[in-house]
Amino acid sequence: MTTEVTIVFWSVVAARFALPLFIPRFPLPAIIACLILDGVDQTIFQSFGFDPPGYQNYDKAMDLFYLAIAYLTTMQNWTRTSAASIAKFLFFYRLVGVLLFELTGARLLLLVFANTFEYFFIAYELVRTRWDPRRYGLRWWLLMAAGIWIGHERHGFNYSDSAQLDRQRDAVRAAVTKHRDHPALLLWGLGNEMEGPESDGRDPRIWKDLDVLADIVKQADPHHPVMTVIAGAGESKIKGILEHYPSLDILGINAYAGAGGAVAAARRVGWKKPIVLAEFGPHGHWEVAKTTWGAPIEPSGREKAASYSATMAQLGKHRDVCLGSYVFLWGQKQEVTATWYGMFLSTGEKLPVVDATSRGWTGKWPANRAPVIVSIDTALRETRVAAGKSISAKAVAEDADADPLTWQWAVVRESTDRKAGGDAESAPPAVAGAVTPADGPAAVIVTPREAGAYRLFVTVRDGRGGACTDNIPFFVEP
């Protein structure tokens, strides 16, 4: 090897040793980094004209190194024992396969003993960043282990890399073979927005490989249909699927502002097979008006409930092809704000969208309805203000059950940790002492001393498990 190749080789090897050491402290980003490096290291070597002898043995050893650290991390960090038990089984199942491969050299063993532990670890950590894993039981985690995650290019997957494609196909085949007889299995969800939430869907590589994967699924399990979920019902995406992905049985669509018309839009383009509205919710933060400083204006709780009701009413017009729908999100998460997409508060109270969904499903309102904020009157609304200024605010709420209401006000910095496609975001802190008093329908807001974008949040609770929360953005001038 030349000096240059030697430096590259040992740099990559050192990175494969170093990155796993971050998994216990930063589980999700660290294991994704390990996965990406695992997928590209041979390509890096070959780009410098070097193909290491015995690469497969080296690669499997390095895989086991970072997977072992990930497994130890589950023992340290995971609070859900059922999920930890599944992870333990998947890890040692893979360990047996690698040992047999080393003894026999039979690559088929790597397919039979597929590395599903890694994907289960990633799935759990994704859940853990947003929700409490203790809320979910053994059956839920078993079904998650059976799910088939398809690579996203924004996460480092390369649809032009034959090695990555082969690994993905092996993983899909192994997952289907393992779970095809599970009594809870309804259909195979082959990927979710793998084309990218901001993509126009014109890249045929993804659709073509999904067609290959769907054939793999059907060969292993001819008894369950295949659904793939895309972001929105864009014409170019539907046309790309029709042209390059004929094996698809059910089209899943994630949609927000256009959710009510998504099924009709797909049918207009020429889709004739069944459809599932796989994810719908309020108007998305990319679909609403923005302030002059670029902050998206979150719909009110009342507006969100109305949009959920409208979407469900529209779906009823397409019962001949629409198999059903999933609301997003049965939980709570930080995405732009801590309240935009969740149907519950972090403290557990349901929001008005839960009532709207309940009525859409059953035809009647629940026994106790959540309160609804009718208005927030303040000069802060979507405006620029000076620092240290006292500004009054007053909110009005209604409760269909006439329950006594309690109030909570807070000023929170505008989120700067923005991600795409629902990837995990960190929540910004509240500003201490910015609201006086903070427990009634009226309050005085003292604008923060530090310049920048903020939101004023008001939350009302009925004391019986119902709540409503709204916010307004404002900007403190330097």
Which pLDDT score is estimated for 382? 97
Instruction: Quote helix, strand, coil % in the chain, to nearest 5.
Output: 45, 20, 35
Give DSSP secondary structure letters for 300-332. Answer: PHHHHHHHHHHHHHHHGGGTTTEEEEEES-SS-
Provide the token pair at 250. Answer: 């059910």
| pLDDT, greater one: 372 or 130 | 372
Instruction: Report the pLDDT value the prediction gives residue 420, as an integer from 0 to 100.
Output: 73
Q: Residue 324, Cβ neighbours under 10 Å: how many?
A: 11
Segment among 105-114, 228-237, 343-352, 377-386 with least mean pLDDT: 105-114
Residues 86-115: what's their mean pLDDT?
A: 74
Whole-number Å distance between alpha carbons of 45 and 12: 9
Least-confidence region, from 245-254, 304-313, 405-414, 421-430:
421-430
Backbone dihedral angles phi then psi of residue 319, each to the nearest 5 degrees:
-65, -20
Mean pLDDT across 8-21: 90
pLDDT in tens, 341-363: 999 998 999 999 999 999 998 89
In Å, how far are 281, 299, 326, 440, 466 from 312, measured between CA atoms? Answer: 10, 18, 10, 35, 22
Nearest to 376 by CA among 340, 338, 409, 414: 409
Q: 130: how many CB neighbours lie within 10 A of its CB?
A: 16
Q: What's the CATH architecture for 372-476?
A: Sandwich (2.60)
Three-state secondary structure call for residue 285 = coil
In this predicted structure, the answer to whether residue 437 has a pLDDT above a threshold of 90 is: no
Average per-residue pLDDT for the chain: 87
Query: For the chain, which residues make up each domain, given as ranges?
Result: 1-146, 372-476
Our CA dihedral for 179, 180, 183, 185, rounded to 10 degrees, sits at 90
Classify residue 348 as left (phi > 0), alpha (psi -120 to 50) or beta: left
In this prediction, residues 455-478 reach a mean pLDDT of 97
Global pTM?
Answer: 0.66
- pLDDT, one tens digit per residue, over 144-194 is 444 466 777 777 788 888 888 998 999 899 889 888 887 778 899 999 898
Pairing between β-strand 226-231 and β-strand 188-192 as defined by DSSP bridges: parallel
